[in-house]
Structures are given as structure tokens and as C-alpha cells.
Amino acid sequence: MASSLLTTPSQSLSLTLTPAATLRGGAGSARVRFSGRGAAPPPPLRTRVRASVAIEKETPESEPPPTFLREDGSGAGSGSVRERFEAMIRRVQGEVCAALEEADGSGARFVEDVWSRPGGGGGISRVLQDGRVFEKAGVNVSVVYGVMPPDAYRAAKGDAGKNGAAAAEGQKAGPVPFFAAGISSVLHPKNPFAPTLHFNYRYFETDAPKDAPGAPRQWWFGGGTDLTPSYIIEEDVKHFHSVQKQACDKFDPSFYPRFKKWCDDYFYIKHRNERRGLGGIFFDDLNDYDQEMLLNFATECAESVVPAYIPIVERRKDTPFTEEHKAWQQLRRGRYAPEEGTEEWKLLDACINPKEWL
């Protein structure tokens, strides 16, 4: 998890995805290294699983395949949730990258790295850096599958969950086939008045036979989008939250307040008594609704990134700023205590004491 509201720009960053962790910029042992000025990774998920699953070294590829899935009845050409989720995240990756390049306006383009995983799957990592508007922007997708040890599955889910049966008592658990896919992104503009954005959306499932001991059939969705500004501009924060609410309200009016609180709580940095930013939505282990509905919900959330964020960037990318503003942006990517009553103090207060923006 990011240890500050914004990451110190001079830090070197390595984003790593493990199969059960789903998304931290790649899959398997894939690493997207943001050397120098960089962005904070999405929060670590399923860290206990990461230590339990053997990670295979990725293989660089010259170009992305039409799909990372195999033609095995539940993969390519099957119309399965995993196939449609992969298609969605790859489409959204392209749409977000195109929107960011247009907003940057410098002619800078995302550099793409493609990799495959010997055990199954692969990913596409895209990075734009040193543009006119964006200091660094990463938009990554991964689709991985294989087999995890039963201990890793139990660490991931805790128990059998809501849509699977528990293992029969006394039976020895076997390896658990898994599938994990997601899109993950961190966007750092140069202008201190343009906020940082984090988003990631992921899908995870196990596909063991129903009678396999210790390996119940299971699936869940997770993800979220959150805003981390250096300065509070209420017009921008309200716009961002209104788009999140609109996406949620299309499916369930309880989603926005529930997932906003989840986001506020999840990104609370206990030892500093503050939150990473001004929130958004966040959810995990979501499988207590119809699977098709949740697939559509995750799609709607991912598709809301561009309308939620790009209008803010367009409004703020050319805002004049001083060296003091830039210094404050850098400090917010670290840690400091501002003087009470200043604009900087108001931001910190809003991070510590989340408010209702709508």
C-alpha cells in the first residue's frame, strides 16, 4: 500500500502482479519498473497468497496476441466471463491510453511491453512519461491462469465463500486451478492542480471440479477508482464523485455509499491518521450478486474512468503554478504537517476527515 497520500517522485517503483493478487501492474512475476519519478502502485491484495504461489518468470513477446486465453472450452471463443472480462480490460486500456495521449497533446506515446507466462496467460504494460501534461502514466493489463496450492486458495478466500462448498472434513486438499485478470493504472500529471488518479478492476475465479477436496468452485470481482489531488478544487472533486455515483446507481443505489466508505476505510493510513486522498469507490471479494450483473458493473466502472478524470485534467493542465505549488505537490507525495487554516491544511483535514461531496 502507498505509505503516503502521494508517492515521493524520486522513488523507484516496481509494480508486480501475482496470480492471486490479481493486479499490481502485471501478472506472474511480471514487473513494470517506473524508475526515477514514479507513481504509487495500487494497494497490495492477497499478500499472503503472493508468498504461497510459485511465480514463473515472464517471457517478452514482440506483439500482443488476440487473446491470452487458450481454446479449451472456457477460454477463447467460449463466451465465458473470463473471455469477456479480458476483452473489456484490453479495450479499456486502449481507450484510456488514447484519451491520455490526446490530453497530453505533446505527441508523446505510450511505450508498450508485452509478456507471456509459461504456465498460462500474459500481459500488456504501457507507460507514458515526460509528456507535456503527464509526468508518468502507466496502464497495465494482465490475464494469468494455472494452478495454486490449496493453502494459497485458503489464504485468498479464507473459507469456501458464498458460492462454493467447503472441503469435506479430513480430505486432503489438492491443487486449485485459478484464473486472474485485471487492469491497473496510476496517472501522475505534472501540474500541481491536476490530481493523481489510481484505478484497477479485476476478476478472479477457481475452476476446480465440484468434488475436488479443498477447492470449491469460486469467483469474485474487485477494484475501484480513487482521486489524490495536491489541492482541493471542489468542482473537480464533485465531478469525480458524481461520475462514480452515476456508474454505481445504474446497478444498485446502495453501491455508491457502500463502496465510497469502503474506499475511505481501505486507504486509511493508520500510523499517519490520514487517507491517501479524497476517495472514490473500492470493493473486493464481490460475488453476492448475479455474475452477469457484476461483470456489467465492473465494465461500467472501468468505462467511467475517462469521463471522470479527463475533464479535470483538461481544466487544470494549463493552470499557472509557482515553484511553491510544485514544492507542495512534492511534499504531498511524501509527508509533512501544514499550518492550520492554510489551503494545504484544508486538504490534509479533508483526507483525515472524509466528507460527503454530493
pLDDT digits (tens, 9 = 90+) for 28-53: 333 333 333 333 344 333 333 343 44
Assess whether 325 carries a catalytic annotation: no
Domain membership of residue 114 (yes or no) is yes
Looking at the domain assignment, is residue 232 inside a domain? yes
Is there a domain that residue 17 lies in?
A: no
- Here the cell at position 358 is 454530493
Is residue 22 included in any domain, yes or no? no
H-type helices in the chain, by residue range?
A: 47-52, 81-104, 150-157, 234-249, 255-266, 291-303, 305-316, 323-332, 343-352
β strands within 17-165, DSSP E: 31-34, 59-61, 111-116, 121-129, 134-148
Instruction: Establish if 328 belongs to a structural domain.
Output: yes
What Rg do the C-alpha atoms of the chain give, in angstroms? 20
Q: What is the CATH number of the domain that holds 126?
A: 3.40.1500.10
Looking at residue 107, its amino acid is G
CA pair distance 283, 266, nearest whole angstrom: 9
Number of C-beta neighbours around residue 300 at 10 A: 14
Give 299-338 pLDDT, tens digit per residue: 999 999 999 999 999 999 999 999 999 988 887 776 544 5
The Cα 107–Cα 354 span in angstroms is 38
pLDDT of residue 295: 98
pTM over 0.95: no
Tens of pLDDT, residues 63-107: 999 999 987 655 666 788 999 999 999 999 999 999 999 999 999
Q: Let me know how long the chain is.
A: 358
State yes or no: pLDDT of 176 exceeds 70.
yes
Q: Is residue 268 domain-resident? A: yes
Catalytic residue of the set 188, 198, 239, 241: 198
182 domain residue, yes or no: yes
Strands 121-129 and 218-228: unpaired
Q: Measured between alpha carbons, how far is 227 from 215 in angstroms, rounded to an integer?
A: 37
CA 239 to CA 271: how far, in whole Å? 30
**Residue 46 maps to a domain:** no
Domains: count for the chain: 1
Measured CA to CA, the distance from residue 316 to residue 223 in angstroms comes to 26
Which residue segment(s) compose the domain that 291 sits in? 57-156+174-352
Give the cell for residue 45.
Answer: 491484495
Query: What cell was used for 190?
Result: 505534472
Residue 233 has pLDDT above 80, yes or no: yes
